Structure 1
Amino acid sequence: MEIPSDFNLPWCKAILSSNISNLENSAAVVHRPDNPVSNSMFGQTLYTPTAIRAQLSFRRPTSEPDSIKPWENCFLLSIGSGIDGKTGRAHGGFNSLILDQMTGMTASLVSASEAPATATMTVDYKAPIDTPGVILVRGWPVERQGRKTWVRARIEDGEGKLLAGGKALFIDARPVKL
């Protein structure tokens, strides 16, 4: 797979050359006809030259002590000014949206449910996300109980600085009774 030039930064190259798996160009996955989840918010609204200019998704080993799995999900996102709230800064709602997307994808992997529903999510805003720029988003599962999955996630800059973090609870759909 060709890596978008947006990620030609030393810190991105270091991540992409480390122990990662399941590397995908997320924009291409959203537009696959066999994808059961539409994600039209991303495919039709955010994957544009001024909003999310490029996105790579992958999995890697986690070092988070509260993770119940040995891996974490990651996104590298190249973002433009089309997501600004204040000029040069991503809108706070974008942070929440990205954290919800990450935690939902992670919950789906743990539960094997196509689209678990967000029951609650807490977001802590720590620093502005500068635009245009590149960010790293990481998510890992912290608890699984019945149809419930709790996931933590972080948005970081290239130096590992926490920009926003969150914890979410997802509920799997009830099994269909035949």
Structure 2
Amino acid sequence: MSVSIGLDDFVPWLAAQSAPEKDVQFFQRTPWTRKLIENPLFRAVPCPTRLITPGTSHNAFIAKTINKPSCVQHWLMLTRKQFSTPKEVARGTLAQSRFSPNAETYNIDDSEFIMLLDVGEDLDGFAGRVQGGVLCAILDEALSICVEYHRQASSSSRAPLYTVQLNTTFRDGVNTPGLIAVKSWIVAKEGRKWLIRGQICDAQGHVLTQAEGIWVSAAENKL
């Protein structure tokens, strides 16, 4: 599917969208994902990076390479209806913050974005398990959308955002074929830096993979 999503209109674009019915219907067939879709704190929307920007290769990995029945046939995004403003912290604070490798499951109601994915066998590393690099890419995508939303909602800056650090902990395998929930939330902001965390969870809410990343917005005077 092709659509033009300009960087400057990400927030209003998201607010105006309704989720693809085929993806909603698919995830409503399973009790635990249906419960997430019906959570009154969230609304279902399309994942913007599953859409190709015409005339470019932007989003090609998510929108084309793994957008197939044997990889990720269904991908649905849930976004909070109301967001809180990320706290601004003192310079040097983010460098000292680290995600505990033994972190407990983050409360679903406190997440800001939840992505539901139907993962297939062509994502395998070992048979029946999603390859670790693919999980990193999925988390990078989920966290990037979270930080871009907050940046546009709180600032007029539209300078490029870059992932400069993504620490990932693999706690258990992600089975294929199967369904997963990818949660993301902003922890803090420090000038042009953003600290974001995310978790990949199974039907029981067990954390299978988790990540903490730092994103930096390019300086306006260097563009």
**1:81 matched to 2:81:** no
- Are the counterparts in 1 of residues 188 and 195 from structure 2 also a CA contact under 8 Å? yes
What is the 5 A alignment of 1:4-23?
4=23, 5-7=25-27, 8-23=29-44
TM-score by structure 2 length? 0.69
Q: Distance in 1 between matches of 2:134 and 2:60?
A: 15
Relative to structure 1, is the Cα distance of residues 114 and 97 closer, same or farther in structure 2, using a 3 angstrom cutoff?
farther
Question: Residue 60 of structure 1: which of 80, 84, 89 is its match?
Answer: 80
| 1:145 pairs with 2:190 | yes
Which structure 1 residue ranges, 4+ long, deviate > 3 Å from structure 2? none
Please give the TM-score of this superposition, normalised by the length of structure 1. Answer: 0.85
Q: CA deviation at 1:6?
A: 3.6
Provide the C-alpha distance between the structure 1 equivalents of 2:40 and 2:209, rounded to a whole number of angstroms: 25
Rg larger for: 2
Q: Does 1:134 align with 2:153?
A: no
Please state whether the residue corresponding to 1:50 is helix, strand or coil. coil
Matching of residues 98-137 of structure 1 within 5 Å: 98-112=138-152, 113=158, 115-137=160-182
> Within 1, Cα distance between the matches of 2:129 and 2:159?
32
Between the two proteins, what is the percent identity of the paired residues? 25
Residue 74 (structure 2) pairs with residue 45 (structure 1): no
Write out per-residue CA displacement over residues 17-57 of structure 1, whole angstroms, 9 at most, x where no aligned residue.
11244522327851365xx9921111120111111111001
Structure holding more strand per residue: 1
Q: Aligned letter for 2:52?
A: H
Which structure: greater helix fraction? Answer: 2
SS at the partner of 2:112? strand
Secondary structure of 1:58's counterpart equals strand
Alignment partners' CA distance in 2, 1:72 and 1:37 = 28
Aligned residue identity for 1:2: E
1:174 maps onto 2:219 in alignment: yes
Taking the aligned partners of 1:136 and 1:124, their CA distance within structure 2 comes to 16
Stretch of structure 1 that moved more, 19-28 or 72-81: 19-28
Q: How many residues are paired up? A: 172
Q: Supply the distance in 2 between the matched residues of 1:61 and 1:53 (Cα, whole angstroms).
A: 26
CA distance in 1, matches of 2:49, 2:193: 29
Query: Does the 8 Å CA contact 1:20/1:58 hold for their aligned counterparts?
Result: no
Q: Which amino acid aligns with 1:109?
A: Y
Instruction: Calculate the aligned-residue CA RMSD, in Å.
Output: 2.7
- SS of 1:104's equivalent in the other structure is helix
Q: Deviations over 1:76-117 (max 9, x none)?
A: 000100100011000011111111111111111122247510
